[in-house]
Structure 1
Amino acid sequence: MQIKLKLTVAAAIAAMAGLASAQDVVRIGHVAPMSGQQASYGKDNDNGVRMAIEDLNSQNVTIGGKKVRFEIQTEDDAADPKQGTAAAQKLCDAKVNGVVGHLNSGTTIPASKVYNDCGIPHITGAATNPNLTKPGYKTTYRIIANDNALGAGLAFYAADGLKLKKVAIIDDRTAYGQGVAEVFKKTAQSKGMQVVDEQFTNDKATDFMAILTAVKAKNPDAIFYGGMHPQAAPMLRQMEQLGMTNVKYFGGDGICTQEIIQLVQGAKTLNNVVCAEGGASLAKMPGGEAWKKRYDAKYPGQFQVYSPYTYDATMVLVDAMKRANSADPKVYTPKLAETNYKGVTANIQFEPNGELKNPAMTLYVYRDGKKVPLN
């Protein structure tokens, strides 16, 4: 009787193992700052990937004739380049099937070489420095407009839309901050604007009084800040303290968040902000508003900027796997170049260098404590 029971248990275990092997696991890596000042971005990006994986698992996807189950492996790069390459190497060693990330250009650019060397494709929906795609890695893709579009768009609006003449430029010395500031500067100067001052800070600073006092003495019409919202918010508060309430404040997608509304703590200078995001506004995205309703129901109060893009990035990776009939990066990576995917954010196709074809860009302002698209 005991022997028979053991045999029955063994048979059940064997049957379960058979079921498990019949369903392949495909792991999508995700990297972003999950800790530190930029953790709200990281969490938002992570939510986007998780939503995509839940949707895929509900669709009973088959790849190469086998039913697959998708899993996420999230790594924290803390917006630090060294931690970013370590996270990338960890995902390579774990042999994930593809990667969504990173958030920051300063982490994505060095990580892209790691992914190239180990042959795993990655798609960023957030890193915007144009240098990311310059090495020509066949594993690197971006599904959002780069800084050439963002910095130039803001400069055109400053010169042509608002007829501003004098601007001061501050950046946080990161790859993202310097990159977008440089594009803004060159475009503004080409439009006849005068750059009256240039100052530098870092992506951990919170006290900008000395910098702003120096800038105020040059009497600019506007400040352009190349950096992220954890620095932009206290800078805006300190501008109000210094009486700089008529100075326009420009920035890229790094400051163009929901969280900045809370962080400025009621400073009126928020009304002077003009920021740019790659991509259409949610209302103009093909599936933006319906997707956002689902997101808010699942992750109330957590939306920032990039989660629709990390959602689409996950879907684009899996779309290439389906078309290749394989989740093996060596097999499906070439299919990414042929992508023609109708996503939440856009109809996604790539240039030969991995950049998004025909990227949209949207300018935003803040009115009555709400982020409002200008175009």
Structure 2
Amino acid sequence: MRRNMMRVTGAVALSAVLALGASACGGDDGGAGGGDSVTIGFMGDLTGENSGIVIPPSKGAQMAIDEYNATNPKVKIVLKTYDSQGKGEQAVPLAKNAITKDKIVGLIGPAFSGESQQVAPVLEEGKIPSVSPSATNVKLGDNNWKYWHRIVADDDVQGSGIGEFIGATLKAKKVFVINDNSEYGKPLAEKLAQTVKNAGARVETESIDPEASDYAATVNKAKAFDPDAIFFGGYYAEGGKLIKQLREAGVDARFLSADGSLDPGLIKGAGGTNAEGSLVGCACLIDPTGTAGPKSKTFSDAYKKKFNADTAIYSAEGYDAATAFIEAIKAGNTTAEKINEFLKTVDVPGVSKQIKFGPNGEPTATDVYIYQAKGQALPLLGSSKTAKVEG
């Protein structure tokens, strides 16, 4: 997800910030004192307005490293955090400091796409491998970077996956596609629109101003089109308002969105019951009940026990990004370049997916998952290829 505006999930974010407070200067060593150790960095917005999306993967990464260090390995891992607040102008000097002073051998992150675009050249020059748990902008994979990787599939994968779900599962013949005109929402909506068109559906598209509070013009166009499904490429705050205004205007078509809306704030913004049955797709896995398999439930239970918080968006991906580095170090690779060489061949089961990268650093696993609004929550239905809609 390319996030210039992002959510903070109140209580989760607050408790997580407090938990991170003591370790934000890099003391998260997981007991790595004594003996040989290497330092891995984690970079992202840990205390700013977007921290609600970054704290979950940072916790997932910390959990993986703590579990590894608890096995008393020959080489332990120190996890050092770098709070970029999602800003490239802060992320770049932090990356330089991480390389020259802290001697990191790898970086989990950066969390967002914008800072990733700016930090990756620094890491390339320093020959430091990175694995982002959450940066999804499509163009990141087109730079021929040799040290860059991500664990989550890009927005084209997400757009086509949700689009195929709309056609194959919902069997929608008329789809109204709305975007928020952002660098995230617009290309995502365009990819989805093309996918459903290719499947034979009639499509009408519209953009909204995310700063506006009244979407009457868009709602009226949607009502006139009388669609079977409405897709919104954008964030949960605007998505919630859209749902509310659509329902108040008598538009009852199934509402769908993507990872920018995977937050209970979507339901709250819609006025509660208005969002009931709405669907959200994401290339990320949030699965506390084990719908996708027992491994994700085991992870979710352990995460809850450790942090007294439920898993959230990108918790599992943060764990898997750390696991990629752990596997390299377990195999005897303790320098940045040797770790990077190992990442070219890593192929192990993760919590969210099989951890394996293509030649361009992209994940080879491209599952998209579907979540459905139910009450005040967005429980997982399953993969976009197999999920059955309830109601």
TM-score normalised by length of structure 2: 0.78
Task: Indicate whether 1:187 and 2:192 are aligned.
Answer: no
For residues 280-323 of structure 1, the C-alpha deviation after alignment (integer angstroms, 9 at most, x for no partner) is: 66322562101101111233345322111101111211211332
CA distance in 1, matches of 2:49, 2:33: 42
Q: How does 1:61-76 map to 2 (within 5 A)?
A: 61-63=73-75, 68-76=76-84
| Change over 3 Å in CA distance of 1:344–1:161 after alignment to 2 | closer
Question: Which position in structure 2 is the counterpart of 1:130?
Answer: 138
**Could you tell me which of 364, 373, 378 is aligned with 1:366?**
373
Greater helix share, 1 or 2? 1
Residue 259 of structure 2 corresponds to which residue in structure 1? Answer: 253
Once the two structures are superposed, what CA deviation does each residue of 1:211-235 show, in whole Å capped at 9, x if it has no partner? Answer: 6445445435233222333443343
Corresponding residue number in structure 1 for 2:344: 337
> Residues 29 and 75 of structure 1 are in contact (CA less than 8 Å); yes or no, is this contact kept in structure 2?
no
Which residue of 1 is the match for residue 29 of structure 2? Answer: none
Structure 1 gap ranges (5+): 1-19
Which runs of 5 or more residues in structure 2 are unaligned? Answer: 1-31
| Range moving further from structure 2, 104-113 or 259-268 | 259-268
> Which residue number corresponds to residue 14 of structure 1?
none
Counterpart among 109, 114, 117 of residue 109 in structure 1: 117
TM alignment of 1:14-163, pairs within 5 A: 23-63=35-75, 68-78=76-86, 80-93=87-100, 94-163=102-171
- The one-letter code sitting in structure 2 at the alignment partner of 1:161 is T
Q: Is the 8 A contact 1:25 1:71 kept in 2?
A: no
Superposition pairs for residues 222-301 of structure 1, below 5 Å?
A: 222-244=229-251, 246-257=252-263, 259-260=264-265, 263-264=268-269, 266-278=271-283, 282=287, 283=290, 284-285=292-293, 287-301=295-309
Q: In the TM superposition, what is the alpha-carbon distance from 1:84 to its structure 2 partner?
A: 4.5
Separation in 2 of the partners of 1:206 and 1:290? Answer: 43
Rate the CA distance shift 1:279–1:69 in 2: closer, same or farther, 3 A: closer
* Contact preservation (8 Å) 1:105, 1:176: no
Aligned residues: 346
- The change in CA–CA distance for 1:148 and 1:157 in structure 2 (over 3 A counts) is same
Relative to structure 1, the CA distance from residue 373 to residue 69 in structure 2 (aligned partners, 3 Å threshold; closer, same or farther) is same
Matched to 1:57, the amino acid is N
Deviation at 1:329, TM superposition (A): 1.0
Given that 1:286 and 1:345 are in contact with CA atoms closer than 8 Å, whether structure 2 keeps it comes out as no
Q: Which residue of 2 aligns with 1:352?
A: 359
Question: Are positions 1:323 and 2:331 aligned together?
Answer: yes
RMSD, aligned CA: 2.9
Q: TM-score, normalised by structure 1?
A: 0.81
